[in-house]
Chain A
């Protein structure tokens, strides 16, 4: 069974500071990994995805994530936080080639950006 652990339910950073949101996964087969962002009262927007190509993945809004198989991690980073980055972020995993595209999500990390 797959699982996703997001360390820190709430992260606060100052505007302009580095953003680091942690995600560790468990999967018995090579995974596909995703980061989604959710703004208040909205659905999920895809930030970036890893699907077994380059291990360093660049996404929208200046975010990137690195797949580290040895650490079973897929941490999300952004060099400089903007006020507009304040939202909830979800890491998700699915089994590659499983036929059913079920996403297993972490519990989310709420990012606050302090002016």
Chain B
């Protein structure tokens, strides 16, 4: 049990739609990161938030955006969905020495 929860667990969307994924992280962990894990691959870093500000971004286009709230929860928003966005989206909270991952949201884009 990592104390990190994500919702929903599964989601099906069609190309061009928008999606919002949610994450609730442990109290006291003011850093949250999002990762995309395509089938058969390792997770890829999307971005990180620290105290509600974006604090690092991977090689993902601007249609991937996020928010972090004062209660340590976070959102990942993806606009104009593409087929290649189908993946497991993982949220992680913590810091430099340890990041705890949630169970993920599996997104399927048709």
Contact = CB atoms under 8 A, between A and B. Distances in A.
Interface of A: 4, 32, 36, 41-46, 49, 51, 90, 92, 94, 96-108
A107 B41 contact: yes
Interface residues on B, range: 20 to 34
A105 B96 contact: no
B42 A45 contact: no
Given A32-B96, A90-B42, A103-B33, 12 more contacts: A36-B101, A43-B103, A46-B100, A46-B101, A96-B96, A97-B96, A100-B55, A101-B33, A101-B96, A102-B58, A103-B45, A103-B92
- A contact face: mostly helix, strand, loop, or mixed: loop
B55 A45 contact: no
Interface of B: 2, 4, 6, 31, 33, 35, 40-45, 48, 55-56, 58, 90, 92, 94-104, 106
A44 B2 CA distance: 10
Contact of B94 (A92, A97, A101, A102): A101
A98 B44 CA distance: 18
A100 B101 contact: no
B51 to A, nearest CB: 12
Nearest to A46: B98
